[in-house]
């Protein structure tokens, strides 16, 4: 057994993640409903039943598809929220997930039963090299695993069960929320802050052990509609305006060598084309704009608008519209005014012998929106790695440390 983990939660976490990961709960950005997919209810209803079974109170699925529950306090203190999301990312196949556990990882390459060409190598992923002796969970090679964020769900459920079965453990009132659609930026309904009723909260949706995130991207989405002029190609001379050509010109005119995910890291933002669909008469381009600062985000939006205007000027018969929609903002703007929940998490890490680290994450969490809406919500580690693809993996022992962190946190939150 690795010395950096206690064994008391390992089997439960393994069982829970294996059960949850096998459920297809992928979200869909093109769906207008909440949740965006009916299949997310397979997870939501399961968690509703499990919470009732372990004795949680006030268990409900809201009309916007979030499971809420209460763990009654055994001592005074602020009401603390714990959140994880049930949906998995739309970027890669999530149908037919076959999770498997590699007991006592030997430190070598990991191969996949359903994809002989796929290799997870510690030489390529140094964090894996640190996990020799751990129990590693992966998928079978043709799907993502869905540890993002079913690992967070498993951690919270395990901690909740432990607290309810051990009422002598002193902790303040706790509120649990399992949200849909985080992966498509719609996990936090306008009603959630009031319904959660927490003084502050934590999402368990982070990566390496020790990670405490209070700085995220700010994010906007852009949608460009290009309408050309359609006519039979046999009679097209001086009449046809091909929307595909104009859409391609927009993509090519946007910054290519800089300001894209492939060439940026750290605090650098980007403009990322995620979709381009349609035909010669009309095309739709979707972009995501990311920056850690409001000013940088606004500049990227202005770049996209000016490119659209420039391309439109080359063909006045076309109609090009650009709509930019706010998504979420850097939680640092609010958390730096009161670092109490961050400091509490750091103290809990240190009590467990874990060195806390805070790095800006090049993404967002439900905590980004919750913090902006008045509930300070930093993000805590689960151990998840290589998310959104077939090489996704997680250590059971890392998840166990996150569970211990959860329990240490609630103890430190007690007042008096």
> Which listed residue (24, 182, 398, 404) is catalytic?
182
Closest by CA position to 178, among listed 45, 303, 270: 45
Phi, psi dihedral angles at 341 (to 5 degrees): -65, -30
Q: How would DSSP label each residue in 217-272? A: -EEEEEEEEEE-B---GGG-TTT-B-HHHHHHHHHHHS-SSSSSGGG--TT--EEE
Give the bridge partners for 395, in sequence order.
136
Q: How would DSSP label each residue in 249-261? A: HHHHHS-SSSSSG
Distances (CA, A) of 322 to 184, 254, 356: 20, 14, 42
Q: How far apart are CA 332 and CA 371, in angstroms?
A: 9
* Contacting residues for 53 by C-beta, under 8 A, at least 6 apart: none
> Which listed residue (87, 181, 215, 315) is catalytic?
87
Contact yes or no for 219/269 (Cβ under 8 A): no
Q: How far apart are CA 172 and CA 66, in angstroms?
A: 22
Any idea which residue has 């919750």 for tokens? 370
Cis peptide before 29, with omega less than 30 degrees from 0? no
Contact yes or no for 67/50 (Cβ under 8 A): no
Cis peptide before 149, with omega less than 30 degrees from 0? yes
Handedness of CA 33, 36, 39, 41 (dihedral sign): negative
Ramachandran region of residue 341, left (φ > 0), alpha (ψ -120 to 50) or beta? alpha
Query: 343 an active-site residue?
Result: no
Q: How far apart are CA 164 and CA 72, in angstroms?
A: 9
Catalytic center residues? 87, 182
């Amino acid at each position: 057994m690795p010395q950096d983990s206690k064994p008391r939660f390992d089997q439960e976490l393994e069982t829970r993640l294996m059960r949850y990961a096998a459920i297809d709960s992928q979200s869909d950005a093109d769906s207008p409903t909440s949740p965006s997919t009916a299949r997310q209810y397979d997870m939501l209803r399961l968690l509703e039943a499990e919470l009732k079974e372990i004795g949680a109170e006030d268990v409900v699925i809201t009309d916007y598809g979030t499971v809420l529950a209460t763990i009654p306090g055994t001592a005074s203190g602020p009401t603390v929220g714990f959140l994880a999301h049930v949906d998995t990312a739309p970027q890669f196949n999530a149908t037919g997930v076959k999770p498997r556990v590699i007991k006592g990882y030997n430190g070598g390459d990991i191969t996949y039963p359903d994809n002989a060409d796929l290799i997870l190598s510690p030489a390529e992923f140094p964090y894996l090299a640190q996990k020799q002796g751990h129990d590693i969970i992966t998928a079978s090679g043709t799907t993502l695993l869905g540890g993002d964020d079913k690992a967070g769900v498993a951690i919270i459920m395990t901690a909740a069960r432990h607290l309810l079965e051990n009422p002598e453990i002193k902790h303040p009132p706790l509120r649990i929320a399992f949200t849909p659609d985080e992966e498509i930026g719609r996990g936090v309904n306008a009603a959630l802050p009031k319904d959660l009723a927490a003084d502050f909260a934590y999402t368990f949706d982070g990566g390496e052990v020790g990670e405490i995130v209070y700085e995220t991207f700010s994010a906007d989405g852009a949608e460009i509609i290009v309408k050309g002029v359609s006519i039979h190609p046999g009679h097209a001379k001086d009449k046809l305006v091909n929307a595909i050509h104009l859409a391609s010109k927009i993509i090519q005119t946007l910054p290519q060598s800089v300001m894209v995910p492939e060439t940026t890291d750290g605090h650098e933002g980007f403009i990322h084309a995620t979709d381009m669909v349609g035909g010669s008469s009309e095309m739709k381009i979707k972009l995501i704009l990311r920056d850690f600062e409001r000013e940088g985000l606004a500049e990227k939006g202005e770049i996209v608008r000016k490119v659209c205007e420039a391309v439109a000027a080359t063909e006045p018969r076309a109609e090009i519209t650009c709509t930019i929609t706010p998504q979420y903002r850097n939680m640092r703007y609010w958390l730096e005014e009161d670092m109490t929940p961050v400091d509490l998490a750091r103290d809990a890490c240190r009590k467990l012998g874990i060195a806390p680290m805070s790095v800006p994450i090049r993404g967002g969490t439900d905590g980004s929106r919750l913090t902006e809406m008045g509930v300070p919500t930093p993000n805590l580690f689960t151990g998840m790695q290589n998310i959104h693809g077939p090489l996704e993996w997680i250590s059971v022992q890392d998840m166990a440390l996150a569970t211990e962190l959860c329990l240490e946190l609630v103890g430190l939150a007690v007042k008096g």
